[in-house]
Amino acid sequence: MRLEPISAPTPARRIVPPVLALVATLVVTSVLVMIAGRAPGDVLRQIVIGAVGSKFALLETLNRTTPLIFTGLAVAVAFRAKLWNIGAEAQLYAGAVITVILGTGAMSAPSFVMLPVLAVAAFIAGALILLGPVILKTRLGVDEVVTTLLFNFIFLLFVSFLLEGPLKDPMGMGWPKSARMLPEGRLPRIFDGVRLHWGFGVALIAALVIWVMDAKSTLGFEMRAVGQNRDAARFAGIPVTSVMIKTAVISGGLAALAGFSEVSGLKGSLTLDLSPGFGYTGIVVAMLALLHPLGVVVAAFFVAAIFVGADSMSRAIGVPSYIADIMLASALLFMVLAILLTKFRVRRD
Amino acid sequence: MDILDILFSAAFWAATVRIASPLIFATLGELLCERAGVLNLGIEGIMVAGAFAGWIAVWAGLPLWGGVAVAFLVGAMLGGVHSVLSVPFGLSQHVVGIGMTLLATSLTFYMYRVILPEVSSPPKITAFQPLDIPVLSDIPFFGAALFSQTALTYLAFLLAAVMAYVLYRTPLGLAVRAAGERPEAVATQGLSVTAIRMGAVIVGSGLMAIGGAFLTLSAFDSFFFEMVNGRGWICIALVVFGAWRPGKAVLGALLFAAFDAFQIRLQQTPMGAFLPYQFFLMMPYILSILALIVMSRRADVPAALMVPFNKGER
């Protein structure tokens, strides 16, 4: 077989493959649910109810959406420039570590000073974490996929060391967790009495800013040009290395804001289970959003809903909640294939 | 115990060979994929799946070699999915690979919970036992270090020799290497680049899964979620370190394993009390990154790695 570009895709061509991808994901999920001896309809219904079926469920989903918007944006920005940042997990923890160091007593300031300082410090920490692999790539040609992946393991061990050593809460009954954040360092709730913090608001603002930057600024254009064809971009006079480094700063910084928002907004302290793989899930979010900054918001909500819904379904019906990860991984693979089929026709030789 | 005591103990070298074995299987699998032009980032998930599949098959009653075969088949099936997406459809090998790792890992954890819903600790199996090679295992020091390993370890080294022979001494190996260097030349010969690349990914993924199964069937006797713990990513670094050659890849795996065995023993020395254990555990990952940096200047990378091939397109 071979692939033939379609010059003018019909509306059906553009809609049918993505719909089929969703159907295929549901079929895979259903088969696995049946292997577990349960009825697919019940499971899917419980997932939807658990995700958005009540005010409590919806707030839970929105809280889970927040870090995924940040990591999803981080991945989308990087992947657009073909910078394969798989290290959002480490960058997230870097942001969380800085937030905890500054927010538990290293500085004292009123809230309106403290919060911006924490956010900027977290952003810088995440940016620095990604800068290493990117400089190795631009200077020496070391593949950033492997270095960013391996660095996740290194940094998590480092956080584990911090939580058992310098950052350990003396009042923590021996548990590896940090001290509580000062009240000035906590992100307030958006509405009184509603369990949703301003991290969500910051995430939406970040998505808007990235969207404007992407669509309107020179840097956004240069990043896309570098992503489409690095050699052509260099030939056209775009400073490729400098664009890659700026991309890395933005991407690493965004991922670190997820850590800031989780510590300052939701948890109030740092533990080693702060992120159940938000950095990796950000890849799925970004791909499902087709790397579009506003799409990331929608995709992050969708992904968060599946996770929160599957947790609740698992408690109610007993199908392992790993079904959520399977749904997302298969949705990712089916979707990249579907997007290809909206642009290419398969011809037999 | 000081550093010299560690280096002169047969147990240290035996541990080195043991730790290297799963890395050798998986590194050779990745090497085969990359030599044909496909970067397989599914490796981490495929190793997890292989570790589970081999173990659960033996737990269900299959003999140990049956478990190895099941692991290979599961790996090959996952490789089949990867190869369809990355070869004929030419989708981004980064995205497909990461997606495959997520899929294989979550499928494994799901099946574990479905098959063993209520267990607090996973059941144990009777793993491969050390097999003393007659005469050789009686050699002082070297016998205990090298020739008292499990059958699966001997297979790993045998596989490296077979892989080197096939890649460099057979027409099939030439075709695989050419598919990764100059696919158009392969197509000109009337061979199918698609078939060669898919075959390499399927077989390579099977080998990665055996690498995972080594952990559950030989190194330990049970399955844990965090078992593979980045070994797949380390193997990708080892392929680069080994300059895409089986022999050098084995040497790299041994060097790496020696370092790992060394750091484990170093933790029990006075230095271990001085440095927190997390820094010892970091060393394998740091070493992998250093290896990538050191080798980065060399241009051995297959020319068509990650370049999709669409026949008739120029």
What residue in A sits closest to B102 (Cα-Cα)? A329
Lowest mean pLDDT among A197-211, A269-283, B269-283: B269-283
pLDDT at B119: 80
Any B CB within 8 A of A143 CB? yes
Q: Do A149 and B281 touch (CB under 8 A)?
A: no
User: Tokens 């670094």 sit at which residue?
Assistant: B237
H or E stretch covering B130: strand B130-132
Which DSSP symbol is given to A168?
A: B
Using a CB–CB cutoff of 8 Å, tell me whether B107 touches chain A: yes
Q: Does residue B89 belong to the interface with chain A, where contact is any CB pair within 8 Å?
A: yes
Closest-CA residue to B65 (of B224, B218, B219): B218
| Residue B73 touches chain A, beta carbons under 8 Å | no
Which pLDDT score is estimated for B311?
66
Q: At what angle do helices B171-181 and B193-214 cross, to 10 degrees?
A: 100
Q: Has residue A8 got a pLDDT over 90? A: no
Distance from CA of A189 to the nearest CA of B (A): 34
Bridge partner residues of A271 (DSSP):
A177
Query: Does any CB of chain A come closer than 8 Å to the CB of residue B191?
Result: no
Supply the range of the domain harboring residue A123: 67-290
**Averaged pLDDT for residues B125-137:** 85
* Contact: A328, B88; criterion CB under 8 Å: no
Tens of pLDDT, residues A208-245: 999 999 989 999 999 999 988 888 999 988 999 999 99
CA angle (B277 as vertex; A149, A99 as ends), nearest 5: 60
| Sign of torsion over alpha carbons B206, B42, A14, A219 | negative
CB neighbours of residue A62 within 10 Å: 22
Q: Is residue A341 part of a domain?
A: no
- Could you tell me what percent of chain B has a pLDDT over 70? 98
Please check whether residue A36 lies inside any domain of the structure: no
Which residues of B fall within a CB distance of 8 Å from A1?
Answer: 88, 194
CA-based torsion, B111, B114, B116, B120: positive or negative: positive
Whether A155 has its CB under 8 Å from any CB of chain B: the answer is no
Lowest mean pLDDT across A71-75, A145-149, B100-104: A145-149
- Residue B273 has a pLDDT of 77
Closest CA of chain B from A108, distance in Å: 31
Is A349 an interface residue toward B (CB < 8 Å)?
Answer: yes
Residue type, position B234, single letter: I
- What is the pLDDT averaged over residues A255-263? 98
A290 interfaces chain B, CB cutoff of 8 Å? no
The alpha-carbon gap from A133 to the nearest alpha carbon of chain B, in Å, equals 10
At residue B288, does pLDDT exceed 50?
Answer: yes
> CA A102 → CA A95, A98, A107, A109, A180, distances in Å?
11, 6, 6, 10, 11
B311 neighbourhood in chain A, CB within 8 Å? 2, 349
- The interface residues of chain A toward chain B in range 205-244, judged by CB-CB distance below 8 A, are none
Alpha-carbon distance of B265 to B285, in angstroms, equals: 17
Instruction: Report yes or no: B215 at the A interface, CB cutoff 8 Å.
Output: no
Reply yes or no on whether the pLDDT at B148 is more than 90: no
Predicted pLDDT of residue A42: 95
Question: Hey, is the C-beta of A272 within 8 angstroms of any chain B C-beta?
Answer: no
User: A28 in contact with B at a CB cutoff of 8 Å?
Assistant: no
Residue with the two structure tokens 């990355």: B86
- Residue B284 main-chain phi, psi, to 5 deg: -60, -40
Interface probe with A: pick from B98, B279, B314, most Cβ of A within 10 Å: B98
In a domain, A325, yes or no: no
Of B102, B194, B279, the CB nearest to A325: B102
Whether the predicted pLDDT of B127 surpasses 70: yes
Q: How many CB atoms within 10 Å of residue A273?
A: 7
When pLDDT is cut at 50, 70 and 90, the band that residue B299 belongs to is: low
pLDDT above 50 (res B191): yes
Q: List the structure tokens of A111.
A: 């809230």
pLDDT > 70 in chain A, percent? 100
- Contact residues on chain A for B313, CB-CB shorter than 8 A: 2
Residue A310 lies in a domain: no
Residues of B in contact with A2 (CB under 8 A): 310-313
Is residue A116 assigned to a domain? yes
A172-213 confidence digits (pLDDT tens): 777 889 989 999 999 999 888 788 999 999 999 999 999 999
Based on the structure, what is the number of domains in chain A? 1
pLDDT of the residue at B1: 55
Instruction: Judge contact between A265 and A187, C-beta under 8 A.
Output: yes
Q: What mean pLDDT value characterizes chain B?
A: 91
Q: Who has greater pLDDT, A105 or B42?
A: B42
How far off is chain B from A6, nearest CA to CA, in Å? 15
Residue A61 lies in a domain: no
User: In angstroms, rounded to a whole number, what is the distance separating the alpha carbons of residues A162 and B187?
Assistant: 55
Residue in A89, A153, A334 to test binding to B, most B beta-carbons within 10 Å? A153
What are the helix (H) ranges across chain A?
A: 11-35, 40-52, 55-80, 88-101, 111-140, 144-164, 198-216, 218-228, 230-235, 240-261, 278-288, 293-317, 322-343
Cβ of A1 within 8 Å of Cβ of B88? The answer is yes
Please classify residue B311 by burial: count the beta carbons closer than 10 Å to its beta carbon, then call 0-12 exposed, 13-18 middle and 19+ buried: middle
**In this structure, is residue A24 part of a structural domain?**
no
Q: Is residue A298 part of a domain?
A: no
